[in-house]
Amino acid sequence: MSRPISGNAFLEEIVADTPGGESLVTCLQCGTCGGSCPSGADMDHTPRQLFAMIQAGMRDEVLHSNAPWYCVACYYCMARCPKDIPVTDLMYTLKRMAVREKLYDDRDAPDWSQSFIGFVEAYGRSFEFGLATRYHLTHQPLKKVGVGPLALEMLVKDRMSLRPDRIRGLDQLRKILDKAKSLEVV
């Protein structure tokens, strides 16, 4: 029953980078994914549309879509998909491809991910205060003015640290991550 996927390099690339991704070709176009999506209204294309576009080889349009960047990773689509397509994981794959090729139209979300992992690579732990200063002061700071008192309250309630926590095995972690990056199939 399954259609051959050869001849569509874009589809093959996505499938190869997604655990269980081969089920993408079984999409019934039922729309359960988009209908279940809490941020579906913000997306230019719902996952259902994206899957049809992928099968049609519309590489540029798909990688420019804002849909993966609006995915909140709630996994409703994945739990409900009648064909068990790993929709959320496919969104992550599309994000990675868009990041590698710098095809995203709005840099806020990819920059957030980069800032977040920058601190993880530097300290081994995430660092909320660092993120607040490094990311928010450079990304629409005026829209975030109202959040200032909130950060202060987090400090007063002893729920935010001004200093990062460091793990002892930072060298080990960096060696592992460097090796992992060299093994990433692109």
Partner 1 sequence: MRYGYYPGCSLTHSAAPYDLSAQAVAAAFGMQLEEIDDWNCCGATEYITINKTAAYALVGRNLALAEAQGGLDQLVAPCSACYLNLRKVDHNMAAYPQMAERTNAALAAGGLHYDPGSLRIRHLLDVIVDDVGMEALAAKVTRPLHGLRLAPYYGCLVVRPPLNGDGPNTEYPTHLDRLLTKLGAEVVDYPLKTHCCGGHMTQISSDTAYELIRRLLQCADQYKADAIVTVCPMCQLNLDAYQSQVNRRFGTEFRLPVLYFTQMIGLALGLDPKALGLGREIVSAEPALAKIGVAAPEPEPAAPRRKRAETGLPMPHRRGED
Q: Given candidates 4, 142, 145, 168, which one binds partner 1 under the rule CB under 8 A?
A: 168
Q: How far apart are CA 104 and CA 134, in angstroms?
A: 21
Q: What is the DSSP letter of 139?
A: S
Judge whether 25 and 5 are in contact, CB under 8 Å: yes
CB of 14 to partner 1, least distance (A): 12
- Per-residue b/e over 107-119, b at no fewer than 16 CB within 10 Å? eebeeeeebbeeb
CB of 60 to partner 1, least distance (A): 20
Q: How far apart are CA 37 and CA 47, in angstroms?
A: 9
Judge whether 161 and 129 are in contact, CB under 8 Å: yes
Q: Given candidates 57, 82, 148, 169, which one binds partner 1 under the rule CB under 8 A?
A: 169
Q: How many residues bind partner 1 (CB under 8 A)?
A: 66
Q: Which of residues 13-42 bind partner 1 (CB under 8 A)?
A: 17, 19, 38-39, 42
Task: Provide the 10 A C-beta neighbour count for residue 88.
Answer: 21
Say whether residue 9 binds partner 1 (CB under 8 A).
no
Contacts with partner 1, residue ranges (CB under 8 A): 17, 19, 38-39, 42, 69-70, 72-76, 78-79, 86, 88, 92-93, 95-96, 99, 108-110, 112-114, 116-117, 120, 124-126, 128, 131, 135-136, 143, 146-147, 150, 153-161, 165, 167-169, 172-173, 175-181, 183-185
